[in-house]
Amino acid sequence: MIPVDGDFILKIAPRFSGDKAEAQMRIVSDISAIFAPTLASYQINTPLRIAHFMGQVTHECAGFRTTEEFASGAAYEGRADLGNDQPGDGKRYKGRGLLQLTGRANYRKYGKMLNLPLEDDPQIAADPAISLKIACEYWKSRDINAAADMNDLIRVTKLVNGGRRGLEDRRKYFQKAKMALAGIEGIRIALEQGEQTVVLRRGSFGEKVGELQSLLVAKGFVLSIDEDFGSATEGAVSTFQKNNGISPDGIVGNETWKKLRA
């Protein structure tokens, strides 16, 4: 299980001040301890899946500072497609949760799936811990992991939102999540292997990747130094490893760093 928690969330979410910061900290604190195990229980358990999940929920819940839509919900009144067939349903079943559950029909559907009285007591959908479970259940029901595995941000966004609204904002948070996850994964592998150097692999981002690419270029490889560990960088690493008697797994650990810096 990848150890993502409140600190991880705050590396991706925007920072606020005053009341907004307090609201954000309340939500993040409430889900910090359950974040990793909840995601893992829904198979949101790879760096790419978690990064896409973070890109979407960070946008949808305004940077983790609300689990309830800012608008009143009156615009949803009478929306048959949302199951709002009784007076007051628009406001009663306004958007709540990390992915903005909206409409009586959806409250009923996800209430049954999670064995929660969401239709009778819609306010509980705004509880941070419950809102995380609803978001994960929605993610699972729409098989969004499959789109995330293909790294298809547009498809992931359409499955979440129905269109491309906020796409660039979602992309920004997705990229920040990838960078944060690359750091977590590198540290985790290094600790497992008893290494003191950050481990890099395909999907890593940041200054250490730029350093790696610069060292490979100095060794004669043709690469862009873009701080993004993609297929070209992985291929260059594997070739370098093979030429230097290292198992060509494309993962840059202590032995590969030493050879590169020699």
The closest of 61, 110, 59, 60 to 82, measured between CA atoms, is 110
pLDDT at 205: 65
Q: Could you give the percent of the chain with pLDDT greater than 90? A: 75
Classify 6-184 by CATH class.
mainly alpha
Do 56 and 132 meet the contact criterion of CB atoms below 8 Å apart?
A: no
Higher model confidence: residue 183 or residue 231?
231
Whole-angstrom distance, CA of residue 151 vs CA of residue 52: 8
Summarised one tens digit per residue, pLDDT across range 165-181 is: 999 999 999 999 988 88
User: 207-218 and 231-243 are packed helices; what angle lies between their axes, rounded to 10 degrees?
Assistant: 50
pLDDT at 188: 54
Q: Is 210 helix (H, G, I), strand (E, B) or coil?
A: helix
Strand partners, 205: 228
pLDDT at 7: 85
Do 68 and 93 meet the contact criterion of CB atoms below 8 Å apart?
A: no
Neighbours of 156 (CB within 10 A): 25
Domain with CATH 1.10.101.10 in the chain: 194-261
Is pLDDT of 45 > 70?
Answer: yes
pLDDT at 149: 93
Domain with CATH 1.10.530.10 in the chain: 6-184
Is pLDDT of 189 > 60?
Answer: no
The closest of 100, 99, 125 to 111, measured between CA atoms, is 125
Is pLDDT of 182 > 90?
Answer: no
Interval 217-235 mean pLDDT = 91
Q: The tokens of 55 are what?
A: 């890109």
Interval 41-69 mean pLDDT = 95
Reported as a pLDDT band with limits 50, 70 and 90, residue 197 is low
Give the CATH architecture of domain 194-261: Orthogonal Bundle (1.10)
Is pLDDT of 106 > 90?
Answer: yes
